Amino acid sequence: MEKEQIGSIIGKVTSFSDKEGTYSGNFSNHYPKGTEYYNIKDVDKNEAIAIKINDGSFIKANYEGEYAGSIFDWGKVVWCTAGSFLLVLVIVIVIVKNNRKPIGNLSNTKMKDR
């Protein structure tokens, strides 16, 4: 791409991962963290953007839809599951503790004279 076609910076790669399904947001499985991307003049950014590569030149990246892996965030699932488990555990402990009958409490019983 020609530099005259490049508009303003719109973001940069915030994380790199080559493991399938482990990324979301401004990630890349090809470009290193910090790689900048730009608007292309007279092109909607939902259609294509320009990526600045190491030698200072730009390449065009066409939008082909959302990454399917970003639909499901495993980090949130793990935290929600752990939180739900802890909540249920606390509720069970409270219920069991409140419904327990004292065993062997003889201090309130009177012994009959023999």
pTM value? 0.53
Question: How much is the pLDDT for 99?
Answer: 85
Residue-level pLDDT at 75 = 75
4 Cβ contact partners less than 8 Å away, ≥ 6 residues apart: 41
Q: Decide if 39 contacts 49 (C-beta within 8 A).
A: yes
E-only strand ranges, the chain: 6-12, 15-16, 27-28, 36-40, 48-52, 58-62
pLDDT one digit per residue (tens) for the chain, 114 residues: 898 999 999 999 888 777 766 566 676 778 888 889 999 999 998 899 999 998 989 999 998 876 665 555 667 888 899 999 999 999 999 998 888 776 665 555 555 555
pLDDT at 71: 56
User: What local confidence, expressed as pLDDT, does residue 110 receive?
Assistant: 55
- Check residue 77 and give its pLDDT: 82
The reported pLDDT for the residue numbered 10 is 93
